[in-house]
Every structure is written in structure tokens, then in C-alpha cells.
Amino acid sequence: MAASGGNVMERIVALCKRRGFIFPSSEIYGGINGFWDYGPLGVELKRNLKDAWWKDMVHAREDMVGLDCSIIMHPQVWKCSGHYDLFCDLMVDCRACKARFRADQLKDMQCPMKPSKHPGEHDRCDLTEPREFNLMFESYAGAVKDEENRVFLRPETAQGIFVNFKNVCDSTRVRIPFGIAQIGKSFRNEITPRNFTFRSREFEQMEIEFFCHPGESARWYEYWRDVRLRWYTDLGLTSRKLRLREHGKDELSHYSCGTSDIEYAFPFLAEGDFGELEGIAHRGDFDLRSHMEGKLVARDGKLVPDLDEQGKPKYKGSGRDLTYYDDERKERFIPHVIEPSAGADRGTLAFICEAYTVDESRPSPELMRFHPRLAPIKAAVFPLVNKDGLPEIAEPIYRAIRQRWPAQYDAKASIGKRYARMDEAGTPYCFTIDGQTKEDGTVTVRDRDTGAQTRIDKTRVVEFLAEKLGL
């Protein structure tokens, strides 16, 4: 049974720290708000998630290519994309405790300075008027810290794909419809990072921009919405905590004719609340046109150039031709774009929460039921005792497994403790070599989820794992 209840998140965070999934960044100096480090198990888990995405979305498909862009790009990219002007949250300051908050999250925030007068809620304190706060981190490229040299850390990986659209078309044999995929770090100076890794200031995204003919974009939007939802369920997010939510017309950006979020009911959220794992957006031709013509705004349902007070374009585009000539249709057009944009850290966190199980009937009640593709360690090998010729049988079995999958060898502590450690790491199978192995050549296989033990011939271990893991 999956765990539920108020302190579940605390227990998950504690397990992540204890077993080396996730640590607070720079912890020995007290940590830094909104930044996290992945420990030895966490790095494998997150890498497995990213590898699964890359394999399923890029390698397994004939209509997708990959890309890896720089984090810092020409500042004009962010002016034309709209991030420079619009990528803002409203923030307010509490005059009592001097803390800063996102205006839309005030209700959940306690004011430590006024707990008695106002039942701890900031929305009843002495607050400043809401002000806009741009979420992009700034830096300077070059020795001089002036406006000329001001640059931004990307707040999304998507723009790197749009500005390389022409390069990819010119250097590969892709034909529309096709997609470009990218995994990489993004940075947002979130006003109130919180909920473990859910809202961080540095995080990783897995993004696809799928380019298609405008007449086919509605169909591709539905296709991608379904494909992406199925990807999560195939990897084990099967509970009712996962859902797809179609945005209402009033929630859509001016250029979008459809957006859906894949959401998960994280244990740190209130009952009935969901948090976004991935957004799938129909972006029309907004991005390619903006990088071609300059920043656009919507007027009377149409995209028009954003003009300054003198009536000149506020931000100039690249002036490059980002149209596409379809030689089958004999038609030139600006492709429409469907964007499935996922967070690798939020995904990892959702799989951690889903996997976390407490079964009080077991000697060690906490276990992580990861899908075999995601499990950081696929198998463990234990000689029951570290003598009597058992290590000599166990070691070659362990070496054979390691040739194909990450595995661990453990000859110390009681067998119960060794199983418990592997349960917490989410290792699907443990093989124990005991006295009977010397007699009949069989080893015990223990299944993480059921705790059931069976015996198989020691020569069949790798074959058994290949079959069970499906890897």
C-alpha cells in the first residue's frame, strides 16, 4: 500500500537524505534556498528518468532529433520571446518580518513576527503593494559590468530550440512534421522556492518543440497530450494521483489554442490539490515569428508587432527567414509548434513519492517501489555469511550482473538489514548465496515488492534478471 497521511512528506525527505537520493545544496554552510544536490542514488534515478525520456522520445522515433544549447544566449532572444518584459511574478514584502512572497501564495505563508496578533497569516499583516519581479537570473559576459554585457541564465530550454530551427533544418534531413528535443538546466529566481525540489531556482527540463503544418497542429496537440500522459503511466505513475488537466479558454496564452498540464497530487499539497509535472502547449507560430519579426503582442485576437512610444518595434527580431518550404505541398509557411515541456526534477520527485511505500507488516516497513527502468540499482548479491566458500560463489555472480546493470555486493550485517537497505534504495531483486547453493547450485531470489523468496539455479541469474527487468 502506498503511504498516506500528514507526515509522509517529512518521511520521504528524511529517507532521501539518509539514503543519498537528495541533499540540500551547500548543506555544511547551512544550505541555500531553492538549490538541491542529488546523491549517489538520486543521480542514478534522475539519470534513468532522463535516459528513459531520451530513449522513448528521441531514439525510438524517426521524427525527432536532439539538441544541446548554451545556457546563456544572446539577450535579444529573451526580448523577442517575451521573457524580458513578461516573465514576472507579483511579489509583496511583509513590513513586519521583511520576508518577500509571491502575491498569489500569501495564504499559505506564516509570518513569524505576528503569530499572536494575526493568526500567522501574511495576508492579514502589514504588506507592501504588489510589485513585478522578473524571474530571470542576470549576469555579465565579459570584464565590464554594463548594460551592453548584461546576460541572462535561460529560464527555459525551449528558446534554444527555436533559434536553432533553421540550423537543424539545414544540417539534417528532417521534414515537417518533426520535433527537436533538449534536456538541460534552467534557472528561475523563484520568489518563494519550496516543497522540496518541486519549486527550485535551478532545475532541469526535458523539452520538445514539435513543428508541423498549421492545418495539422490541432491533431498533433492531441497526439502529444496522449503520448506524454502514457509515458508517465508506463513508468509507474499509475495511481489516481496522476491526472491530465486541460486549461480553460480563459487560462490560455494569447497565441495558444490548447494547453494541458500533466499533474500529480504530491503529498505536500492540500487534499485535492495537484502540482504540474509537465505542460503540453499548442504555441501556434508565435515563437518562430517573434524571432523572425520581433516581439509580438496579441491585439483583437491577432499577433501584431509590439511597438514603443514612437511607434517603432520595441524589440527587433533576427530578420532571418524562419519559414519552411514544404516541397510535397509546394507551400511555404511558418510552422506551428506543439511543446511538451517537462521538469526532470519534478518528475523525479513524483516517482519518488509514488514509489514510497510503508508496509508495517514487514520487518523494515519503508520501501521504494521504483519501476525497473528507474531503479538506481537493479540487483544486489549477498553471501549469507562472509566465509565457508560463499563469497567465492557470490562474487562471480555479482560480476556477471554488473556487466549489464548497476548492482551492489554486500557481505556484511544481518540478512534482514541487507534486504532493508535494498528496499529503501528500491532495488527490485536480491540474490542470496547460502549453504544450499553449495549443495544444489541454487540461490535465493527475493522480490522487493512482495518479499517473496524463491530459488533459481545460479547459472540463470542474469537470464532471470533480463526477463524480469525487461532491460
Per-position x/- string for 131-170, each x denoting binding to ligand ATP as judged by CB under 6 A, each - no binding: -------------------------x--------------
345 binds ligand ATP (CB under 6 A): yes
Measured distance CA(163)–CA(290) in Å, rounded: 10
DSSP-derived letter for residue 291 is H
279 binds ligand ATP (CB under 6 A): yes
337 binds ligand ATP (CB under 6 A): no
Measured distance CA(148)–CA(146) in Å, rounded: 5
Q: For the chain, percent helix, then strand, then coil, each to nearest 5? A: 35, 30, 40
* Residue 228: CA count within 13 A, CB half-sphere: 30
Which of the stretches 67-75, 105-113, 169-177, 342-350 binds ligand ATP when contact is defined by CB under 6 A? 342-350
SS3 of 61, please? coil
The CB-of-145 to ligand ATP minimum distance in angstroms stands at: 27
The CB-of-226 to ligand ATP minimum distance in angstroms stands at: 17
Q: Characterise 20 by phi-psi region: left (phi > 0), alpha (psi -120 to 50), beta (else).
A: left
- Shorter beta-carbon distance to ligand ATP: residue 36 or 220: 36
Measured distance CA(133)–CA(131) in Å, rounded: 6
- Shorter beta-carbon distance to ligand ATP: residue 57 or 433: 57
The CB-of-113 to ligand ATP minimum distance in angstroms stands at: 27
**Burial status of residue 101 (CB atoms within 10 A of its CB: 0-12, 13-18, 19 or more):** buried
Which of the stretches 102-110, 117-125, 195-203, 284-292 binds ligand ATP when contact is defined by CB under 6 A? 195-203
Q: What are phi and psi of 408, to 5 degrees?
A: -130, 150
- Shorter beta-carbon distance to ligand ATP: residue 152 or 419: 152
Residue count, binding to ligand ATP (CB under 6 A): 16
46 binds ligand ATP (CB under 6 A): no
| Radius of gyration of the chain measured on its C-alpha atoms | 26
Smallest CA-to-CA distance from 18 within 48, 50, 34, 41 is with 41
Strand partners, 66: 181
Measured distance CA(397)–CA(434) in Å, rounded: 13
Per-position x/- string for 54-93, each x denoting binding to ligand ATP as judged by CB under 6 A, each - no binding: ----------------------------------------
Q: 81, 182, 200, 437: which one contacts ligand ATP (CB under 6 A)?
A: 200
Question: What does the block give as the cell for 67?
Answer: 539538441
| Contact of 426 with 370, CB cutoff 8 Å | yes
The H or E element that residue 111 is part of is none
Question: What does the block give as the cell for 229?
Answer: 500522459
SS3 of 270, please? coil
Q: 44, 209, 263, 278: which one contacts ligand ATP (CB under 6 A)?
A: 278
SS3 of 301, please? coil
| Contact of 395 with 456, CB cutoff 8 Å | no
Q: 277, 353, 390, 443: which one contacts ligand ATP (CB under 6 A)?
A: 277
The CB-of-381 to ligand ATP minimum distance in angstroms stands at: 37
Q: 317, 343, 372, 428: which one contacts ligand ATP (CB under 6 A)?
A: 343
341 binds ligand ATP (CB under 6 A): yes
- Shorter beta-carbon distance to ligand ATP: residue 247 or 468: 247
- Shorter beta-carbon distance to ligand ATP: residue 258 or 372: 258
Residue nearest to ligand ATP (CB): 343
The CB-of-426 to ligand ATP minimum distance in angstroms stands at: 22
287 binds ligand ATP (CB under 6 A): no
Which of the stretches 49-57, 69-77, 274-282, 283-291 binds ligand ATP when contact is defined by CB under 6 A? 274-282
- Shorter beta-carbon distance to ligand ATP: residue 205 or 437: 205
DSSP-derived letter for residue 10 is H
Q: Characterise 310 by phi-psi region: left (phi > 0), alpha (psi -120 to 50), beta (else).
A: alpha
Which of the stretches 125-133, 215-223, 277-285, 355-363 binds ligand ATP when contact is defined by CB under 6 A? 277-285
Measured distance CA(241)–CA(466) in Å, rounded: 30
- Shorter beta-carbon distance to ligand ATP: residue 294 or 343: 343
276 binds ligand ATP (CB under 6 A): yes
Please report, as ranges, the residues that interact with ligand ATP according to CB under 6 A.
156, 188, 190, 199-200, 203, 205, 276-279, 341-343, 345-346
